[in-house]
């Protein structure tokens, strides 16, 4: 990194430093936050396992496996392993308990709901939803599974609200494979990324104060997503692929030749339209600090209409 960019990071690093006494208050506050979440587990054994697993993941043990976590808490390793591995408990009440304070305390009316895929490239074929698919984490099509996450971002902070695993098209047809991996028993079809993101918006959007929804170009690519968003009155800043066809609404249509109909406005792609803009139409914005220097983007603003399947 260049020296002039490295100097900009000094104030950020200084703000991250704090007195050791600050951390003495962390565990009591975490216990207060954890209490309503733990109470959603029915039964004394499940409640104790939930407390032990949470404390163990935040502790200073060398290895965060079941045996290392269970031993300091005085619990049996097999019981904790069953709770974390294959015990049947409903996560819906837990997620709702977590969602309520986010909407009441953390959310703001001018906040943003962000959708993003979270990819993890595992090894083997036993994980639920694993397939060759686009993995943003590695920047290419790879063997892995992908989950759709919904985050709430405001001036108070950012919080992960929901996450659902995407089920590729090949999985619903392989019943034995689903059963071995612990996947859905019923044949409900594939659970692809765009329907999952829309379900999260319909389920959690009404209880989360927000002014915008945002996502990458994969979220904004399907026409039906943009159309439904307008129907719900949702404002969004969804990116679209560079080949999306659009028509500028602020420019005058081509002049008539005196014969036949007046020619309509053309339908250039986003890439072609951006290249046609003058240098004065662009504005450079310093977004944030990056690992190799500041992240700079150039922005141009235009009112356009996108081309639909029915033109």
In the chain, the domains with their CATH numbers are 3-85 (no CATH), 107-238 (3.30.420), 246-306 (no CATH)
Q: Predicted confidence band at 117 (pLDDT cuts at 50, 70, 90)?
A: confident
Q: Predicted confidence band at 194 (pLDDT cuts at 50, 70, 90)?
A: confident
Q: Predicted confidence band at 105 (pLDDT cuts at 50, 70, 90)?
A: low
CB contact at 8 A, 173 and 163: no
Residue 106 burial (CB count, 10 A)? 19
- What's the pLDDT at 98? 76
Question: What is the distance between the alpha carbons of residues 260 and 2, in angstroms, rounded to a whole number?
Answer: 61
> Residues 6 or more apart from 309 whose CB is under 8 A from it?
223
Question: Which candidate, 98, 213, 106, 195, places its Cα nearest to that of 150?
Answer: 213
Question: Which candidate, 290, 296, 243, places its Cα nearest to that of 270?
Answer: 243
Exposure b/e, 45-71, CB count within 10 A at least 16 = b: ebebbbbbbbbbeeeeeeeeebeebbe
Question: What is the distance between the alpha carbons of residues 239 and 22, in angstroms, rounded to a whole number?
Answer: 41
Please identify which residue in the block is written with the tokens 């039906």: 224
Mean pLDDT over 221-225 rounds to: 80
Question: What is the distance between the alpha carbons of residues 34 and 46, in angstroms, rounded to a whole number?
Answer: 14
- What's the pLDDT at 186? 58
What's the mean per-residue pLDDT of the chain?
Answer: 78
- What's the pLDDT at 299? 92
- What's the pLDDT at 283? 94
Mean pLDDT over 222-238 rounds to: 77
Asked if the model's pLDDT at residue 187 lies above 60, the reply is no
Q: What are phi and psi of 87, to 5 degrees?
A: -65, 140
For residue 50, what are the β-bridge partners? none
Q: Predicted confidence band at 229 (pLDDT cuts at 50, 70, 90)?
A: confident
Asked if the model's pLDDT at residue 138 lies above 90, the reply is no
Q: Considering the entire predicted model, what is its pTM?
A: 0.67
Higher pLDDT, 52 or 104: 52
- What's the pLDDT at 284? 93
Q: Predicted confidence band at 142 (pLDDT cuts at 50, 70, 90)?
A: confident
- What's the pLDDT at 238? 84
Q: Predicted confidence band at 136 (pLDDT cuts at 50, 70, 90)?
A: low
> Residues 6 or more apart from 171 whose CB is under 8 A from it?
128, 129, 131, 177, 178, 183, 190
Asked if the model's pLDDT at residue 185 lies above 70, the reply is no
Higher pLDDT, 86 or 115: 115
Q: Which two tokens stand for residue 233?
A: 């009155």
């Amino acid at each position: 990194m260049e020296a002039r960019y490295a100097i900009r990071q000094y104030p950020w690093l200084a703000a991250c430093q704090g007195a050791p006494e600050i951390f003495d208050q962390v565990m009591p506050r975490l216990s207060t936050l954890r209490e309503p979440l733990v109470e959603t587990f029915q039964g004394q054994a499940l409640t104790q396992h939930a407390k032990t697993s949470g404390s163990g993941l935040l502790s200073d043990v060398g290895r965060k496996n079941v045996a290392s976590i269970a031993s300091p808490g005085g619990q049996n390793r097999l019981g904790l392993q069953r709770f974390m591995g294959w015990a049947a408990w409903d996560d819906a009440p837990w997620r709702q308990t977590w969602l309520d304070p986010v909407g009441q305390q953390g959310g703001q009316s001018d906040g943003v709901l962000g959708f993003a895929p979270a990819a993890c490239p595992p090894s083997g074929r036993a994980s639920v939803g694993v397939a060759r698919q686009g993995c943003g984490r590695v920047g290419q099509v790879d063997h892995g599974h992908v989950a759709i996450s919904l985050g709430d971002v405001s001036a108070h902070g950012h919080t992960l609200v929901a996450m659902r695993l995407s089920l590729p098209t090949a999985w619903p047809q392989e019943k034995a494979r689903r059963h071995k991996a612990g996947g859905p028993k019923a044949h409900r079809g594939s659970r692809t990324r765009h329907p999952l993101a829309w379900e999260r918006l319909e389920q959690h959007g009404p209880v989360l104060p927000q002014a915008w929804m945002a996502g990458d170009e994969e979220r904004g690519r399907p026409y039906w997503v943009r159309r439904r968003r307008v129907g719900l009155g949702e404002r969004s800043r969804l990116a679209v692929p560079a080949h999306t066809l659009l028509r500028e609404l602020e420019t005058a249509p081509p002049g008539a030749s005196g014969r036949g109909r007046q020619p309509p406005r053309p339908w250039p792609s986003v890439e072609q339209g951006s290249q046609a803009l003058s240098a004065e139409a662009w504005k450079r914005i310093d977004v944030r600090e990056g690992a190799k220097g500041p992240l700079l983007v150039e922005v141009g603003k235009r009112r356009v209409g996108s081309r639909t399947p029915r033109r």
